[in-house]
Amino acid sequence: MCGIAGALIKSHGQAPREVAERMVAAIKHRGPDGRTFLEHGDLAVGMCRLSINDLEGGTQPLYNKSGSVAVFYNGEIYNYRELRRELEASGVQFRTHCDGEVIGHLYDIHGEKLFERLDGMFAIALLDRRSDKLILARDIPGEKPLYYYEGTGGDLAFASELPALRHFPGIDLSLSRQALWDMPTFLWVPEPATVYEKVRTLPRSHYMVVEKGSVSVHPYANRFTDIAETLDTPEALVAEVRRVVEKSIKSRLLSDVPVGSFLSGGLDSSIVATIAAREKGHIDTFSIGFEALADPYHGMADESEQAAETARLIKSTHHAIHVTGKDFLDELDTFIAHAGQPYAVSSGLGILAIAKAARAAGIKVLLSGDGADECFGGYSWYAHLEAMERANATGRAGFGSMQNVGQSLETRLGEIKAGNTAERAWGWHFYAHESEKARLFASDFQSGLQTSLRHFNADGKQWRTIDYIAQDRNFYFPNEMLPKVDRMTMAYCVEGRVPFAAPEVLSLAARLNLDQMVSKTGVLKWALRQAFSDVLPAHVLARPKHGFNVPIDHWLRNDWAHLVDETFAEGSALRKHGFVGAKSHAVALEMINNQSRLSGHAIFSLIMMNRWLENHAR
């Protein structure tokens, strides 16, 4: 729920309250149910509220017993009932029924270690007025965003979304060439960097202390590690997966308003929706359907009928949203505006469409099945990892990639195997290669930049099989999946929740080896399938992996072809800024029309970069 923003202004005469008001107004879509502010000396903090829990009494800021500690936060504290009972037993008296009220009371007892005790998704701004200390914190998985800018003379700004920071006086919004270079490789800018050189993301599982003119950032631990001591038998493993996942889903039903769920008809969303429907008695479910196009990754793009079948079984009120390429084309400006910076995860367009439909249906909370693949072994290439561990890099020229669909699977695997650890990590499921970007971007733009592969294998050690999965869980998941859910649901005042991102689920996942994720016969997410075999029908349990894949290559060769022309035209923002060269249009067309390699997402990255530069850069 909500969005927060704050302005600490020491270097000039602008009123912090006026600045904070403009910043909060810029993210009003995150919370249409009210705005509140607090001033303390040179600091003003504000929030816009999306009322989900304690609708009448949950107005922020929330305070500790003495009122000396004020808390603004965006998100939910799912274990607040347990924490509240513990605090009440120690004599604390609560003023509200809001989950976030525990934060200030915990600070009185545990100080900055309080964040280790929070099972939730949150971005927190805590003001200790006794010591003039401001503490910012972000949740363990990184579900809720928090951006910050350190100015001169002790100035500081922070906000739930990047566009709010544009209202901070004197902010340096110089673009980061490195971020723009990285973006076509991943479809997003890897945290903690942003598109702006001087603006950062507070890392997940970290808190910041602003005190006496100094700013320091500190990690904190995931203490939700109460996992069964032994998982070495199939029975023990399956029982623990069932316990931890079901506990996470149930806790994320915390709400005083109706709850809905994404539902693709596949394993992950079916587990979430089935448990949610059982616990709540009734829920709304939402699926999206495309034209009946072949999905180059997994079968057919449209899976709406499978979702409808599952909805009938769990007796949900089901909403099937059918879209075309034109529908998504009409939403591109909304999509990039709410991403806040260049962003090209095309499946986010589907989440945007579902959030819009959910809001129209009166649903403020949507559960998602994202994260199960990274936690329990769901990606198809995981079945090939063990063979890779035994192979040595050959140093052979070229690049191996699962995007090279014109090659046989055996050839693709052989080329990936020939690469070093970083090249293999890229080859499994990332996009533009360094050599492709070198042909698209202008030579002057590329000067002094680092390879995007620096995000893999920084210590230079040979990775084990499990390290590739850990990389997906610790890099791909928080950078791609979680921002997609947050930004695209909040665009329509809906709160997206991800049960598989729960700290305890992440702790369990970190304990698993490949054999516990992928069976000897190649069954992906084996333990997760077994854990819920008694509540899901056989056809869902047996259904192979099917991600939410937008047919982007098909659209860019057909109905969206004009976007390629516009992006690389002489008058485009990319050309005017000197970011791409005069030959980039020809290179882009060559890549798009090369049907032996999927390049749609790489080119879509440049399209969205150009669109963002035209509409949101200054």
Upper half-sphere CA count for residue 370 (Cβ side, 13 Å): 27
User: Is 2 among the catalytic positions?
Assistant: yes
SS3 286: strand
Q: What are phi and psi of 168, to 5 degrees?
A: -80, 125
Q: Which residues contact 294 (CB under 8 A, 6 or more apart)?
A: 300, 301, 551
Q: What is the dihedral of CA 369, 375, 381, 382, to 10 degrees?
A: -150
Buried b (16+ CB within 10 A) or exposed e, 136-154: bbbbbbbbbbbbbbbbeeb
| 156, β-bridge pairs | 8, 150
**Helices within 518-560 (DSSP H only):** 526-531, 538-542, 552-557
In whole angstroms, how far apart are CA 282 and each of 48, 196, 253, 274, 441? 29, 44, 12, 10, 52
| 6, β-bridge pairs | 45, 158
Distance CA 4, CA 204 (A): 16
Q: What are phi and psi of 415, to 5 degrees?
A: -75, -35
Upper half-sphere CA count for residue 496 (Cβ side, 13 Å): 30
DSSP H or E stretch at residue 329:
helix 325-330
In whole angstroms, how far apart are CA 485 and each of 12, 368, 462, 480? 38, 8, 33, 9
Q: One of 2, 48, 98, 493 is an active-site residue; which one? A: 2
Q: Measure the CA angle with vertex 371, ends 309 and 417; round to 5°.
A: 110
Handedness of CA 333, 334, 339, 343 (dihedral sign): negative
How long, in residues, is the chain? Answer: 618
DSSP H or E stretch at residue 372:
helix 372-376
Task: Give the residue carrying structure tokens 């997966």.
Answer: 241
Q: What are phi and psi of 357, to 5 degrees?
A: -70, -40
- Give every strand in the sheet of 259-262, ordered side by side: 317-322, 284-289, 259-262, 365-367, 495-497
For residue 455, the 8-state DSSP code is G
DSSP letters for 82-149: HHHHHHHHTT---S---TTHHHHHHHHHHGGGGGGG--EEEEEEEEETTTTEEEEEE-SS--S--EEE
- Give the closest residue to 496 by CA, choosing from 67, 75, 88: 75
Contact (CB, 8 A) for 452 and 182: yes
Residue 571: other Cβ atoms inside 10 A: 7
| Numbers of helices and strands, H then E, in the chain | 27, 17
Contact (CB, 8 A) for 402 and 427: yes
Contact (CB, 8 A) for 45 and 6: yes
Contact (CB, 8 A) for 441 and 181: yes
Active-site residues, by number, are: 2
